[in-house]
Structures are given as C-alpha cells and as structure tokens.
Amino acid sequence: MEQRVLPVRDALNRHYWDGAQQEKLVLLACNHCHAFVHPPRPFCTSCGRTELAPTEVSGRGTLYSWSVMYSGGNPGFDDRLPFAVLIVELDEQERLLTVGNLVDASPEDLEIGAAVEVCFEKVDDDVTLPQWRLVAGGAQ
Ligand SMILES: [Zn+2]
C-alpha cells in the first residue's frame, strides 16, 4: 500500500498537531482581542497583533461545506472511497473554519448546518489527526 501523506510540524502549526496527539483541538487565539486565528498565521487576522497563544476549543461545530472523493490516487485513502472532506465552522466564532474527514457516517448522511464534533484518528506514534463525526440528532 502506498504511503499516506501526513502533516509535518513547523513553528506555526506545532500547537495544532501536539494538541491532537493529546486528543485536544488547539487553535491560536489573540492575546489582545481574543479572536481565534485558523489556519494559523503569525499575526491576528482581526487586529493585526502578533501575540497569539495556543488555546483549546470545544471541538463542536456545524457543517459549513464538504466535498466527496470518489476516485483513487490519494495515497493511503483509496481503501476508504468514497470519503467526505468536511469544512466545519466551529462554535467559538463565526467563519472560524477547519478541515477534516468525516468518520463513522456515509457522505449521503451530510447536510449543511448539521452538528458535528471532533474525534481523533491516531495514525502512528507521531501523528494524530482531528477528524469529524455527526452528532446524533444533530441539525442546529
Ligand atoms: Zn487580535
């Protein structure tokens, strides 16, 4: 089987992957205006300041959009076809979006606005991926 492409930690995303390894969803938050900044950047996208701190969030959100992969050629994923890649709007902040795969459900079960929650897929000793599942009884 082909090697799955996995994330590489760097100075800007280390908090996210280290948090995932502890089964926590950790994003950067601005020390000044308290806005969350994700995907991570070296400055606050709301106020421009550079003092950002890793902060755990609830891991709850709603389905903002998704795409379904039907064809192969994605190393390490072909045995999962079809699978859905979700864009989730987190409860903490309007338009605070994050990306992960759908687990424990079929793409046909998805609808915009459905309640989702994070879960964690341990790939190996170094990498755990935040993924998403539908919350039972879920539309908000
Ligand atoms: Zn700020």
In a domain, 48, yes or no: yes
What are 134's strand-pairing partners?
116
- For residues 120 and 79, membership in a common domain is answered with yes
**What pLDDT, on a 0 to 100 scale, did the predictor assign at position 101?**
96
CA distances from 58 to 10, 37, 47, 79, 117 (A): 24, 15, 23, 31, 9
Are the beta carbons of 103 and 78 closer than 8 angstroms?
no
One domain for residues 40 and 100: no
Q: Kindly report the CA angle at 68 between 122 and 123, in degrees rounded to 5?
A: 10
Whether 109 is covered by a domain: the verdict is: yes
Q: What was the pLDDT predicted at 72?
A: 85
Ligand 1 center to residue 68 CA distance, Å? 34
What total of structural domains would you count in the chain?
2
Q: Does residue 2 lie within any of the structural domains?
A: no
The beta strand positions in 33-101, using DSSP E, are: 36-37, 52-56, 60-69, 83-90, 97-101
Minimal CA–CA distance to 61: which of 121, 114, 119? Answer: 114
List pLDDT tens digits, range 49-58.
999 999 999 9
Position 75 confidence tier, pLDDT thresholds 50, 70, 90:
confident
Distance 137 CA to ligand 1 centre (A): 35
Tokens 């969030």 appear where?
Answer: 57
pLDDT at 1: 55
Give the domain extent around 13: 9-57
Residue 80, φ and ψ in degrees, nearest 5: -105, -5
Judge if 26 and 67 occupy the same domain.
no
Sheet of 114-122, strand order: 97-101, 83-90, 60-69, 114-122, 128-139
Average pLDDT, the chain: 94
User: Residue 115 Cα, ligand 1 centroid: separation in angstroms?
Assistant: 27
pLDDT tens profile 90-129: 999 999 999 999 999 999 999 999 999 999 999 999 999 9
Question: Cα of 87 to ligand 1 centre, how many Å?
Answer: 23
| Domain shared by 139 and 86, yes or no | yes
Cα–ligand 1 centroid distance for 91 (angstroms): 18
Q: How far apart are CA 124 and CA 31, in angstroms?
A: 33
**Percentage above 70 pLDDT, the chain:** 96
Query: Does the residue 4 lie in any domain?
Result: no
Using the mean position of ligand 1's atoms as its centre, give its distance from the Cα of residue 88 in Å.
22
Write the pLDDT tens digit of every residue in 8-29: 999 999 999 999 999 999 999 9
